[in-house]
Structure 1
């Protein structure tokens, strides 16, 4: 994986090219072929690059061939160490022997690429020249280096080459420390950049494939190897750990059953001793440095996991024929505490503001398949994902609320486990806020990073979104209350790294959109108030129709209804019944505000001059309509109520504003 945003996942595809896939679609619904591309090398490729600047990418293929791909120009160049046609040669007669999956890595310590054959090679000039920095690091057993595939056929592509390096790993924190593993069971380490090498193969290790090596990000002397003997019909898991640069090793397989032979092990880069293992039958996890393991399959298919990598708080898995998979929130594993009981709120992972969507943005449902059914990738959630734990016996009478505050302590949004009983749903109107799940054990809630929706006017169909605008990048506080208990945590909203904008621009956009949303809510509250006043007045007229002695009240009531109707027709368009009616009936002022809101609802915090001018125009028009509204409320309704009291008739009352 590289370290861009979104980061890209690289790998070889059997009988195909190598592939490079974006880990998410930041502006769409799913990860499709538009987010894929080929990369360097071929089907058997190890792929290497500077993750922060992956312009120059090296990818391998058969018999030690390497392609250097310039991903800016999409031009590739062969940089094979020794351009020799090996395919008819016996491995023992080859100048260098290379595994089908010959390892290639890039090292940040010297900006160099390393390539493993039976020896280790290094280039510091993008393959223009290579230097040999090791002796033969394999068993070099010539009895097993004859023609591959005999007596049936000569397998000339190198898929059965033996006595080759199968893995190379440099220490993430210590310059000059490089580990190698071979396909015939040797482990070597150098601590001086290749000048001297030590065979540190675990004592008694049988001939096997060293499938992966991991160096602890927390302790330079600690390393792990994943070995396998499936080619010997031995399916025993084979994980080993050293804490002294390979002088001594211990087996760490407890909990992984026979048959789940081990292909890869990784240590979490945040929580020490949190280990992840990929096996032939699935995924395993250890919280104590490998002393014991537990299966943790979740929704992952039962499939061989060939590699694991941690990137930007995610765990990326490659599988044998079942695609790439991403566990996109390692904060769950990192915060897990088996001893913790009762009510808990986990710190959510910091979230990047993106424009896309995901089927995982909604409430969790353990019974449903997450993600699309068509052959496309599932987007990661596009909001802030909260996880909380409720006691084994949930108090049904206890309230559950979540309040989100900004760095200044102002409430951004609040949610509850109870639905809003006053909410009125209608076509073309806002959606209700989602509710917090309230079940025993783990619960999940995704905040879409938005402020509350603006208020609607029931039965007024408006094309556009009522959703509040997105919160600006910054630090936020979440307060979860369950009955009398309260838990607090913090998290950050991060800007999309590809958007060049200042904190001041985000703040300006926030303030501008807040003004637009406040105006919409104010207008619709006025509309709803006068609609209710009109209903009461019309009911009053029906009563007065049979009483000629109260004609004065009836005339005043009819005049009020007419005045409210005239005002309402200026402010909202009640003839529209669908989005297509935008071409049939002229927008009124509230719809014009919502259209302006939609223009502003972008991940890029830019307020255009046109938007400023339109807001000024709308505010000027609303000022006129608001004055008319206030005259109706403060004069006409009051006068009618006064007249009703004088004549002994019940008055008209306005509903209370929210």
Structure 2
């Protein structure tokens, strides 16, 4: 070691107790936060000695403490790295795979979650992303994404059943089809990207820790997103079966409204809505009465200059208009679906009781069902039961609505006359069909209901 830029050197190898003379010094990693601190790994496998060797010094190498031996890992050591901010967190690369310690090397655990038993040649912690990049022998560069849970464990063990960790910044990342082959075959490899847009959360769960708290009866976890004090999104899932660290994704959206459908929507999940605006949001993980919260930053793609907050607000104003129209359509189509179900059930009941006696009522019910289906087709299109790829040429309300939504939501700049024209076309058709459907419900349907209420069905036969 030199302390004067190389003018003089001191031999510090004598303090490496237990290391055979002539062993290969693979790495020396100086601490980024503590003067005189360093980690060293060595191996002697070239002479058929597969024992692992790793040491720490706190005084520029005058003294060394061995932190890895044959009781900790299976094979020889190749690399080591200490987290630059949390020194208790240390990663170790061996010929047998990756190991991690959250107590500065006192105890080691092999990391196997998606990572194979493969020779680990080098380790780097990305200074901006706080990801562990792992260089393996003959395999690939493998990234352990987001070390926040590891650093949190290294600081303190959780004392309650849940813990939400600080998430990375979420971006409205933009993608495009790359040049070259459109569909990759076996000979083409592409690394796995994050889906977009997405907010990535990691959380800890251990239901056994609830013994230290009040009894928790809930079998679900909830992730609530707030803008200031306003709750804008609620996600939920069943509690994990085992303790551990888990992922939870938020698609950077607000609570939405049910979409118009030909069928009755019985889903209890909160529907997805518009994208949020860039800014700061509070995320609260809830398990019974226990909560854990973090802040998450949402930003635009820094590579694209066209997006501005003004453009985002223009888009949201156009989406609000379209959502209001969609809500009106959903209210009518939902009523059509419910009425059709009632009519189908009524026909089934009459048929099962006395098909001949109720012949006229069954005929009237068939007629009203066909009218309901005809109205539904104006919203959703006539069902096409042919096999293969088919195209329905009719222009429906939902075709207009989805076309406008696609253009409005994909603009990277200011809204244009195209988006306005598509919305106006959707609005004109939606209002026209809604008016026709409401008139039908007020006249033909109400008349049908009034007449069918006079039908007496004997449910108690001799």
> TM-score w.r.t. structure 2 length?
0.74
Tell me which residue corresponds to 1:571. 379
Residues 328, 380 of structure 1: 8 Å contact kept:
no
Query: Deviation of residue 441 (structure 1)?
Result: 0.9
Please show how residues 431-470 of structure 1 align to structure 2 within 5 Å. Answer: 436-442=238-244, 444-451=246-253, 454-458=258-262, 468=273, 470=275
Stretches of structure 1 lacking an aligned partner (at least 5 in a row): 1-187, 358-371, 418-435, 461-465, 651-658
Change (3 A) 1:272 1:319: same
Measure, in 2, the Cα distance between the counterparts of 1:538 and 1:197. Answer: 95
Residues 204, 245 of structure 2: 8 Å contact kept:
yes
Query: Deviation of residue 416 (structure 1)?
Result: 3.0
Deviations 1:180-199 (A, max 9, x none): xxxxxxxx3345xx363443
The one of the two structures with greater contact order (alpha-carbon pairs below 8 A, sep at least 6) is 2
Tell me which residue corresponds to 1:403. 223
Measure, in 2, the Cα distance between the counterparts of 1:497 and 1:410. Answer: 27
Deviations 1:161-206 (A, max 9, x none): xxxxxxxxxxxxxxxxxxxxxxxxxxx3345xx3634436243444
Tell me which residue corresponds to 1:532. 338
Please show how residues 284-323 of structure 1 align to structure 2 within 5 Å. Answer: 284-311=99-126, 312-323=129-140
Measure, in 1, the Cα distance between the counterparts of 2:343 and 2:240. Answer: 44
Query: Deviation of residue 270 (structure 1)?
Result: 3.5
Three-state SS of the structure 1 residue aligned to 2:259 is coil
Residue 347 in structure 1 maps to residue 160 in structure 2: no
Tell me which residue corresponds to 1:189. 2
Tell me which residue corresponds to 2:12. 201
Three-state SS of the structure 2 residue aligned to 1:336 is helix
Residue 230 in structure 1 maps to residue 34 in structure 2: no
Query: Deviation of residue 336 (structure 1)?
Result: 1.8
Change (3 A) 1:409 1:623: farther
Q: Which moved more, 1:603-612 or 1:479-488?
A: 603-612
Three-state SS of the structure 2 residue aligned to 1:392 is helix
Three-state SS of the structure 2 residue aligned to 1:199 is coil
> TM-score w.r.t. structure 1 length?
0.54
Measure, in 1, the Cα distance between the counterparts of 2:175 and 2:70. Answer: 40
Residues 572, 587 of structure 1: 8 Å contact kept:
no
Residues 93, 123 of structure 2: 8 Å contact kept:
yes
Measure, in 1, the Cα distance between the counterparts of 2:356 and 2:413. Answer: 61
Residues 459, 574 of structure 1: 8 Å contact kept:
no
Deviations 1:209-238 (A, max 9, x none): 332232323224322222233334433333
Q: Which structure features the higher share of helix residues?
A: 2
Measure, in 1, the Cα distance between the counterparts of 2:413 and 2:224. Answer: 21
Residues 517, 597 of structure 1: 8 Å contact kept:
no
Measure, in 1, the Cα distance between the counterparts of 2:112 and 2:364. Answer: 73
Aligned equivalent of 2:207, options 376, 387, 391: 391
Residues 454, 518 of structure 1: 8 Å contact kept:
no
Measure, in 1, the Cα distance between the counterparts of 2:45 and 2:363. Answer: 95
Tell me which residue corresponds to 1:214. 29
Change (3 A) 1:546 1:241: same
Measure, in 2, the Cα distance between the counterparts of 1:538 and 1:203. Answer: 90
Query: Deviation of residue 588 (structure 1)?
Result: 0.6
Three-state SS of the structure 1 residue aligned to 2:375 is helix
Three-state SS of the structure 2 residue aligned to 1:325 is strand
Tell me which residue corresponds to 1:414. 234
Query: Deviation of residue 293 (structure 1)?
Result: 2.8
Tell me which residue corresponds to 1:509. 315
Stretches of structure 2 lacking an aligned partner (at least 5 in a row): 177-184, 265-270, 458-462
Measure, in 2, the Cα distance between the counterparts of 1:538 and 1:320. Answer: 66
Measure, in 2, the Cα distance between the counterparts of 1:612 and 1:583. Answer: 26
Residue 274 in structure 1 maps to residue 53 in structure 2: no
Change (3 A) 1:385 1:587: farther
Tell me which residue corresponds to 1:379. 192
Measure, in 2, the Cα distance between the counterparts of 1:208 and 1:235. Answer: 11
Measure, in 1, the Cα distance between the counterparts of 2:367 and 2:62. Answer: 97
Residues 353, 603 of structure 1: 8 Å contact kept:
no
Aligned equivalent of 1:243, options 54, 58, 68: 58
Change (3 A) 1:509 1:227: farther
Tell me which residue corresponds to 1:167. none
Measure, in 2, the Cα distance between the counterparts of 1:586 and 1:467. Answer: 28
Root-mean-square deviation (Å)? 4.2
Residues 404, 413 of structure 1: 8 Å contact kept:
yes
Three-state SS of the structure 1 residue aligned to 2:208 is coil
Measure, in 1, the Cα distance between the counterparts of 2:274 and 2:410. Answer: 9
Deviations 1:550-578 (A, max 9, x none): 99x99997886676455333222032458
Change (3 A) 1:567 1:388: same
